[in-house]
Each structure stands twice: as structure tokens, then as C-alpha cells.
Structure 1
Amino acid sequence: MKSVIINDYDIAIYSIWYAILNDTERFINDIINAKINIQEWEIQKNIYNKSLEEKIYSYDLAFATYFLNRTNRSGIITGGPIGGKNQNGKYKLDCRSNKSDLIRKIVRISDYKNKIQLYNMEANDFIDKIILRHNPNEIFTFFDPPYYEQGKNLYTNFFKHEDHLNLQEKINNLSDYYWILTYDNKDEILSIYEDYSKYLYSINYSASNVRKAKEILIPSIKVKLDSIDSINIETI
């Protein structure tokens, strides 16, 4: 691996990455010592809400966001605690918080920190200032913009229709680059990317009710896709 470039405009998600890369030992110790219960969930939720208002990196925001990601339904901050506040659901708050497994992954990421570049940039700026400065044959980009329909309910930084259009205009400048783009399966997205090849693939959703839905995958003209293992893609 030569290097990995991570960009997230959500300051909370960016903060997680920054803390893991730059304050690894403290982050691991806090995972070890964290109590996984509703009382702690309430504390971390309050820290998240307060810290997010500052709109700048903070360690407290990083850990609170990570705690909520591991204890909320589907890892969505607005999803509410797994099992509900009364913990009477089928799954309990700690079902996604295997501490030894989480720590192992964090250590693994930290081992490569000298090969990881981290940014907190708006997508269009990131394309102009980072992607387009690289040789097209030496970089592969995965774009994961907010969902078109449910973005406002799932993300701190969601897109309006014109934002999706603006991103598409920027991506048009990347015809010589390798990239893929994923979206929820909506007619508006199919229309915006009407000049591109489009595929459907299945994904499990469990923010409220477990269900299987199809998402759109759009590759650049330089990327060739095939179904692999358990992932089956269908041409639209």
C-alpha cells in the first residue's frame, strides 16, 4: 500500500479518524474503560451534541461519535440506541461493541498512519485540490455522497438536489480517473447520471427494520465491474 487518502466533511467523523491516528493510546484506553450502558449513552450523546456545535475537531467529539456509532442502530447517530432506552429489544446496547475486536482494528489502522492522509473538505474542493493533483493512473477514488432521499435524516451534512448536481459536474472532470460512486436507488440519481453506466447491488438496511434494498453503483468509464463472491451487480 502506497497511501490512503480519507476525506469526510462531517467534522464528527473526521474527528474519529484524527483521534485514532493521532491519539491512539488515549482512544484505546477510553474504549477499555467505557461502560456500555444507557447512562453512558446519554452522557456521550450530550457530549456529541455540545461538541458538534463548535464545528471544529475535539477529542471529546471523536470519542462520543465513536461510542454512538457502536451503540446506535446501524451506527447512525440519529438512529437511537440499540435495544431502545429501556433495553427491551432483541439486541442490546453492547452487541456491536466487542472491545478486543475494536481495539485490534484501531491498532491496525494506527500501524499505517504514516501512509494515511486525512482531510475535512467539501467534496467539490476535494476533487479540485486533491484528486486532480494526482496522476489519473495512480489513484482510485470511492465516492460515497449522502443518500438522495434519506440524507437529511441520516447525515449531519446532507445534500440538496443542486448539491448532487454540482457533484456530478465535478465528477465529469474525472473521465481519465478510476472511481466508483454509490447512491440510493432513486430516479433523480438515474437522471443526473444518465450518461454513465449504472448497476444495482443489494445491501442490508437495519436502521429501524432489517430489510434488503438495492443501491446504485456508478463507475468511471475506466472501471470494469463484475459480480464477485456474494455481491451480485445488475446492469440498469
Structure 2
Amino acid sequence: MSSITYLANPGNLKKPYISLLRYPGGKSSLYGRLRTLIRLNGLSNGTYVEPYAGGAGAALALLVTGQVREIVINDLDPAVYAFWRAVVTEREAFSDLLVNAVLTVEEWTKQKEAYLTAPRDDYLTLGFATFYLNRTNRSGVLNGGPIGGKDQSGNYKIDARFNKQALSERLRLLSLYSNRISVRNEDGLQVIKEFAASPSAFVYADPPYVEKAGSLYLNSFTKSAHQSLADCINSLSETKWLLTYDDVPLVHELYSDRRRELFSLNYSAHRVAKANEVMIFSDALVTETGEDRLF
């Protein structure tokens, strides 16, 4: 029998800001909650897996604070994958591009062209173009326009979210952990199937939203894709995973047999807003100790 409870503040512990990407709906704010779940389930020396990683803010924070031994960052979007691949394997070249980046609409146009036309296996060119657009576009949406508009008449300009010093320091910090970061470009279902049964793995799946996904993600899900994910992960209910989704009827229908909690999340995509989301737990995941709930 499933249950639904309400979560007022799912993770109020302070978290380090490590990711170089801005991501609409990013879940780095769940760092405290994830840290507690990992400790409670005895996975502190294990592998943390994000099959739909995006900005991977939570994964990186957990790694650099020593909560997990290694992380797996997977994203099917070839541009997002190229970014992570370049950051992990070509750090010095990426750093040079970052430090010498020209923050103008003219350069934005060049990077947009590179993003659209660069070969998928040219990870540095495609990855940096992805990063450049993410840091200079409104809300970080890759298919959006530059901050301030192409005429730069807005209150904020194209360089508003491109602090070279801060971003370079994040890049340097990540380089210290590069040998413990695995970057994948696979279907999320395959990654879930590969790692879910491992006794030392914790899978956190944050797939594209059911609603408004097309405006936030380049690889949005169809209804059948949401169904396929549910079929897959529900069949692995005796392994340790956590799933988050937007709070819509379809999600409650697909996961009616699992424990669910509602929580509020602040996000920014065109405007700052607060949305209710659903946290779904596998049957095997411990979320409380004795009679005292931790959350």
C-alpha cells in the first residue's frame, strides 16, 4: 500500500555550489536530503548515479564533500555530455577557453553556431559552446536567447552569469576529483538497469518533467517514455533508488504502489517560481530509523 506525505523543507543543509551549469529545475537544493539518505542506507563509500544528470549539482556536491566515493553522470543530450566529457578529460584546454571567453552578442552568435554544427565527437568545441550558451542565455535554457536580449537593452547584460574567476575555481576543484567521475552518454534506462542492483550504488533519477518539459529540455519525454521509465524502475523496487518528478496526476498513477512525498522547489526558467514536486522511494530505501522519521 503506497503512502503520500508532505515535506516542508527537504534539504536545508548548506551545500557547496560546484556545478558550472545553470539548470532549470536543478536539484542541488536536495543535497541535505540526499546526504542523509546515503548515510542512512550505508552507501557513504558507494557510487552515486544520476541517469538524467543535467547540471549534476547534487552529484558533485556529494562527491567533493566526501559523502560518496564516486559518481556517474549520464545525459543522453550529446551537447550536455560533450560539456561534462570536456570538463573531466580536457580541463586545461577548457579552462583556457573559459578565461579567454569574449562576452558579446557577436561571440554568442559564433558559439550558437558551434553548438548547432560542431561534430558530436568534438567534445571541447561542442562542450564549451554548450557551457557558453548556458551561462549567457536567459535562465540557462540552451535554446533561449542571450541575457539582456540581442540588443543588450535589458537590465542585465550577457556577462551577468559569467563570473570567470568563480567558474575557474569550480573547474579547478572538479579537476581534483576527475578520476572519480564517470561520464556517460546513454539511455537513462540502461544506466538504471546497470547500477540499480549493485549493493553499493544509489540511483537518483530526475527525468524531464511531464508538463512544460519541451521549454526546459532538449530531450523531453513522451508519455510512452514516462511509462517505460515507470515500468523499469518499479520492477526494481527492491533496490535503492530515489525518483523526483513534477506533481501531476500521471506521476501518481504510474507510481501508485510506491511511497511518495510532496515538496516545494524554487526554480528559475524565464521567471522565478515555486513548484510542487514528488519524491518517490523504492521499497528498499530506508527513510526512517526506528519509530522516528528523519524527514
Q: TM-score, normalised by structure 1?
A: 0.87
Q: Secondary structure at the match of 1:78?
A: coil
User: What is aligned with 1:39?
Assistant: 106
Pairwise CA distance, 1:99: 0.9
Pairwise CA distance, 1:6: 1.1
Runs of 4+ in structure 1 off by over 3 angstroms are: 54-57, 222-226
User: What is aligned with 1:230?
Assistant: none
Q: Secondary structure at the match of 2:83?
A: helix
Unmatched 5+ stretches in structure 1: 227-232
Alpha-carbon distance in structure 2 between the residues aligned to 1:116 and 1:123: 17
User: What is aligned with 2:198?
Assistant: 134
Q: Does 1:67 align with 2:132?
A: yes
Alpha-carbon distance in structure 1 between the residues aligned to 2:191 and 2:115: 26
Q: Secondary structure at the match of 1:62?
A: helix
Alpha-carbon distance in structure 2 between the residues aligned to 1:22 and 1:215: 34
Alpha-carbon distance in structure 2 between the residues aligned to 1:78 and 1:210: 18
Alpha-carbon distance in structure 2 between the residues aligned to 1:174 and 1:46: 42
Name which of structure 1's ranges 198-207 and 2-11 shifts more when overlaid on structure 2: 198-207
Pairwise CA distance, 1:223: 3.4
Matched to 1:30, the amino acid is L
Structure 1 segment 202-217 matched on structure 2, within 5 A: 202-217=264-279
Q: 1:206 to 1:79 in 2, by over 3 A?
A: farther
Which of 156, 172, 176 is the aligned partner of 2:234?
Answer: 172
Which of 132, 135, 143 is the aligned partner of 1:78?
Answer: 143
User: What is aligned with 2:262?
Assistant: 200
C-alpha contact 1:79 1:207 (8 A) present in aligned 2:
no
Q: Secondary structure at the match of 2:143?
A: helix
Structure 1 segment 85-96 matched on structure 2, within 5 A: 85-96=150-161
Higher RCO (C-alpha 8 Å, min separation 6): 2
Pairwise CA distance, 1:210: 2.1
C-alpha contact 1:73 1:80 (8 A) present in aligned 2:
yes
Alpha-carbon distance in structure 1 between the residues aligned to 2:115 and 2:75: 17
Name which of structure 1's ranges 68-77 and 210-219 shifts more when overlaid on structure 2: 210-219
Q: TM-score, normalised by structure 2?
A: 0.70
C-alpha contact 2:76 2:188 (8 A) present in aligned 1:
yes
Q: Secondary structure at the match of 1:5?
A: strand
Aligned length: 222
Alpha-carbon distance in structure 1 between the residues aligned to 2:142 and 2:287: 32
User: What is aligned with 2:180?
Assistant: 115
Q: Does 1:124 align with 2:124?
A: no
Pairwise CA distance, 1:59: 1.6
Pairwise CA distance, 1:203: 2.1
Aligned-residue CA RMSD (Å): 1.9
More helix by share: 1
Q: 1:36 to 1:225 in 2, by over 3 A?
A: farther
Q: Does 1:23 align with 2:90?
A: yes
Alpha-carbon distance in structure 2 between the residues aligned to 1:8 and 1:81: 24
Which of 244, 247, 253 is the aligned partner of 1:191?
Answer: 253
Pairwise CA distance, 1:86: 1.9
User: What is aligned with 2:169?
Assistant: 104
Identity of aligned residues (%): 39
Pairwise CA distance, 1:20: 0.6
Q: Secondary structure at the match of 2:259?
A: coil
User: What is aligned with 1:218?
Assistant: 280
Which of 215, 225, 229 is the aligned partner of 1:163?
Answer: 225
C-alpha contact 1:146 1:159 (8 A) present in aligned 2:
yes
Pairwise CA distance, 1:68: 0.7
